[in-house]
């Protein structure tokens, strides 16, 4: 029988994430708590309890959540923030399920988070709000002890995960989620060392391929570009693995409409996405991300497959300018520089 007891850390998070997002959306519409309570025909204390997490939205009825969504829309809430609220409810449900003492399988073994979901999942651990909420200076106050307890629970779950495809996916995610938690530093280093020792054959896709990709990006962020260059040379050597890289990155930036259940969906040929968000993310990365060499190779592959993205002159100019900047200022491997010169040529030709 499934248990329901919660760990001390996770118990503090129940309802907090969706509540904080709701507070940010209400503030974005210029509505006070009193005004919103009146519109929703509930007491002020109810709105305050929703936003603080004392009355978790995840435990509200479907009908009440629909009423809440309709009212926020009527008040002028941006569609993107309403979608973020839906994702915050999903994250609250993940934290509830992961903290149940007998919760199996672990919810992170059944879901591949995109960037927005990942930022919501890490918010209570890092204190850093998701990108969509940073302009509003949204806050989620979580005591340091609770953050460490949640990170510890994630580490234990990862250590206890099976040595199969879903276990590999979960350990990759947990390593990313707790990366900035000081109490997790030794564990993260040990996981990274284990990933390096694995000597994965990157020439074809396997459950270890996204693990190696993630570790290479992390190493580049920490100032060591060599694992990333090795991954580019071996892991992006053919059309199949390059396609997997493109599809996953498109998913990461929110190009897909539904969450993935497993990493293998990045090699599903039926996956469809437009590429506009991906292009924007890659151009930003080319301009200055520590993993810019991966951004460059991915941008080159994207433009080869979707040259239509350069039809708008303003977009072509952005790509050309980013390529020029990186060519002038960045230290790049010879293969990467050649790819970037080809990107610049494509942008100039389109313009």
Domain limits, the chain: 8-141, 236-350
User: What is the tens place of the pLDDT at every residue in 169-188?
Assistant: 999 999 999 999 999 999 99
How far is it, in rounded angstroms, from Cα 93 to Cα 102? 15
Among the residue ranges 16-30, 95-109, 229-243, 331-345, the one predicted with the least confidence is 95-109
| pLDDT class of 5 with cuts at 50, 70, 90 | very low
- The answer to whether residue 104 scores a pLDDT higher than 80 is no
- Judged against a pLDDT cut of 70, whether residue 338 lies above it is answered with yes
d(Cα 69, Cα 130) in Å, to the nearest integer?
Answer: 20
Please give the pLDDT value at position 3. Answer: 39
Mean pLDDT of 302-330: 94
> What residues contact residue 247 under an 8 Å CB cut-off, 6+ apart?
265, 266, 267, 268, 271, 273
Least trusted range by pLDDT, from 46-50, 158-162, 317-321, 343-347? 158-162
Rg of the chain, C-alpha, whole Å: 22
**Looking at the predicted structure, is the pLDDT value of residue 136 above 90?**
no
Among candidate residues 104, 95, 80, the one with its CA nearest the CA of residue 125: 95
pLDDT band (50, 70, 90) for residue 2: very low
Q: Check whether 6 has a pLDDT greater than 90.
A: no
Give me 71's structure tokens.
Answer: 């009212």
Instruction: Look at residue 9 in the predicted model and tell me its pLDDT.
Output: 67
Report pLDDT for 251. Answer: 97
């Amino acid at each position: 029988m499934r248990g329901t007891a919660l760990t001390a850390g996770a118990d503090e998070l129940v309802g907090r994430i969706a509540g904080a997002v709701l507070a940010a959306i209400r503030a974005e519409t210029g509505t006070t708590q009193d005004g919103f309570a009146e519109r929703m025909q509930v007491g002020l204390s109810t709105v305050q309890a929703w936003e603080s997490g004392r009355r978790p939205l995840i435990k509200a009825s479907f009908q009440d959540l629909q009423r809440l969504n309709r009212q926020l829309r009527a008040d002028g809430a941006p569609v993107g923030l309403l979608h973020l609220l839906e994702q915050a409810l999903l994250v609250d449900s993940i934290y509830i399920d992961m903290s149940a003492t007998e919760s199996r399988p672990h919810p992170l073994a059944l879901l591949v988070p995109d960037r927005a979901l990942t930022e919501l999942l890490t918010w209570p651990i890092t204190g850093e709000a998701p990108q969509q909420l940073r302009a509003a200076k949204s806050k989620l106050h979580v005591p340091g002890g609770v953050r460490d307890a949640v990170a510890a629970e994630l580490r234990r779950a990862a250590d206890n995960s099976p040595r199969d495809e879903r276990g590999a996916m979960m350990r990759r995610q947990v390593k990313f989620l707790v990366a900035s938690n000081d109490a997790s530093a030794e564990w993260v280093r040990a996981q990274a060392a284990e990933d390096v020792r694995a000597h994965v054959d990157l020439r074809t896709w396997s459950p270890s391929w996204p693990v190696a990709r993630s570790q290479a990006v992390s190493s580049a962020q920490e100032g060591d570009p060599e694992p990333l260059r090795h991954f580019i040379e071996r892991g992006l050597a053919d059309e199949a693995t390059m396609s997997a890289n493109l599809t996953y990155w498109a998913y990461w930036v929110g190009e897909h409409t539904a969450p993935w259940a497993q990493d293998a969906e990045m090699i599903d040929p039926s996956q469809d996405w437009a590429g506009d968000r991906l292009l924007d993310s890659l151009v930003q990365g080319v301009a200055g991300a520590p993993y810019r060499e991966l951004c460059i190779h991915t941008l080159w592959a994207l433009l080869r497959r979707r040259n239509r993205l350069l039809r708008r002159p303003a977009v072509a100019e952005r790509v050309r300018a980013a390529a020029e900047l990186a060519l002038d200022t960045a230290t790049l491997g010879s293969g990467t520089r050649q790819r970037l010169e080809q990107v610049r040529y494509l942008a100039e030709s389109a313009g």
